[in-house]
Amino acid sequence: MTAVLSVVFAVCAAISNAMGTVLQRRAALIVPRSQGFRIGLMWDLLRTPVWLFGILGVVFAAAFQGLALATGPLAVVQPIFVLELPAALMIGGMVFHRRMPTLAWIWVACLVGGLGLALGAAAPSGGSLQPGVGLWVLALASCGGAMVLLCLAALRRGVGGARAVCLGLAAAIGYALTAALMKSATDTLDHQGVAAFFTSWQTYGFAAVGVCALFLLENAMQAGPLVASQPALTLGDALVSLSLGVTLYNETVRTGWWLVPEIIGVLLVALGAIGLSRLQMRPQEGEHGKGRDQDPVPGSGASPSSGFGPDDGGPRGGAPARTAAPPKG
């Protein structure tokens, strides 16, 4: 029963995060753009009401994620977050008055089917409640070092696809590490009570890493096209979370001939993620000429629909449009 609850909570978290992502994408089209990391970006976003509603969606997602991690393995919960991508595109289609083309449903089927196949074949299970200090040091050093290197690589590149990939992968690692720390903190809450939860370093650790991951995500939203950042975000979070689940919590996955369907499932997820991120969302029936979809957002120089198609890197002959990619976890 707990396994079923874990999956339900994870799906709810993915949908809540998708809603938050769409609203954050909307806000990213409004605030001024920058070439480098800009702390003022967060201040600009805080003054944007739609971004605050987006963060509310993220808060609900964090609550559902905590419940999922308290009732199920990290290696099961985090991969389910790849469902955030089709959910974000569907919700975004309604918000930005775009409809998903028929091909999109094929990509959704690939992603959902691949996720089900991979998780069914791997059947993650087991795990210890609290990793040892040595394992935490290894995980924090590895993930933190990788995030720093990816950020440095992003700073060496101008706005575009390469920068979006680096920032997207850095954010994915941050979200995976946040989930690992959150699982430890929720286990402490479940077994030792509220006082132990607020005195556990993992509680403050997942809050700090989560803020860093959010900052990287906001910069990734403006760095380049969705087709560049989304596969890194979607697959990076799932794969790093699986690795942390096995390394930190001693969760087990089936090997041997089960690796064949697992690999096929991962490839289907990758195919679906890339296919969805390359979508050219079409205006809904009756929306042509209404202006709401066609006019740029004031002060942005970009259409609200930016980030939903292969041209989201910017208008032809102009500066790249501000785009966003859905978060994981």
Q: Is residue 149 part of a domain?
A: yes
Could you tell me what percent of the chain has a pLDDT over 90? 19
Q: Is residue 301 part of a domain?
A: no
Q: How far apart are CA 240 and CA 70, in angstroms?
A: 19
CB 46 within 8 A of CB 52: yes
Instruction: Please report the pLDDT score of residue 42 as a whole number.
Output: 62
CB 64 within 8 A of CB 78: no
Instruction: Please report the pLDDT score of residue 203 as a whole number.
Output: 93
Is beta strand 98-99 parallel, antiparallel or unpaired with respect to 282-283? antiparallel
Q: How far apart are CA 268 and CA 115, in angstroms?
A: 8
Query: Per-residue confidence at 289, pLDDT binned at 50, 70, 90?
Result: very low
Q: Which of 44-53, 155-164, 179-188 has the highest mean pLDDT?
A: 179-188
Q: Is residue 59 part of a domain?
A: yes
What one-character DSSP code corresponds to residue 158?
-
Instruction: Please report the pLDDT score of residue 78 as a whole number.
Output: 83
Alpha-carbon dihedral 299, 233, 64, 195, rounded to 10 degrees: -100
* Weakest-pLDDT range from 30-39, 161-170, 214-223: 30-39
The number of distinct structural domains making up the chain is 1
- Cβ count near 113 (within 10 Å): 15
Q: Is residue 325 part of a domain?
A: no
pTM equals: 0.71
Q: Is residue 297 part of a domain?
A: no
Which domain does 245 fall in, by range? Answer: 2-283
Q: How far apart are CA 191 and CA 267, in angstroms?
A: 38
What one-character DSSP code corresponds to residue 322?
P
Q: Is residue 318 part of a domain?
A: no
* Weakest-pLDDT range from 132-141, 253-262, 282-291: 282-291
Q: Is residue 121 part of a domain?
A: yes
Query: Per-residue confidence at 145, pLDDT binned at 50, 70, 90?
Result: very high
pLDDT digits (tens, 9 = 90+) for 58-112: 889 888 988 888 888 888 888 888 888 788 777 877 777 777 778 888 888 898 8
For residue 40, what are its two tokens?
A: 């003022």
CB 197 within 8 A of CB 188: yes
* Weakest-pLDDT range from 51-65, 110-124, 271-285: 271-285
Nearest CA among 282, 263, 266 for reference residue 274: 266
What rounded mean pLDDT belongs to the chain? 76
Helix (H, G, I), strand (E, B) or coil at 247: helix
* Weakest-pLDDT range from 138-142, 206-210, 212-216, 229-233: 229-233
Question: Is 140 a residue whose pLDDT tops 90?
Answer: yes
Could you tell me what percent of the chain has a pLDDT over 70? 74
Q: How far apart are CA 241 and CA 47, in angstroms?
A: 33
Q: Is residue 26 part of a domain?
A: yes
* Weakest-pLDDT range from 154-163, 193-202, 288-297: 288-297
* Weakest-pLDDT range from 74-83, 115-124, 270-279: 270-279
CA atoms within 13 A on the CB side of 59: 6
For the chain, the 3-state helix, strand and coil shares in percent, each to the nearest 5, are: 70, 0, 30
Nearest CA among 69, 93, 75 for reference residue 10: 69
Query: Per-residue confidence at 308, pLDDT binned at 50, 70, 90?
Result: very low
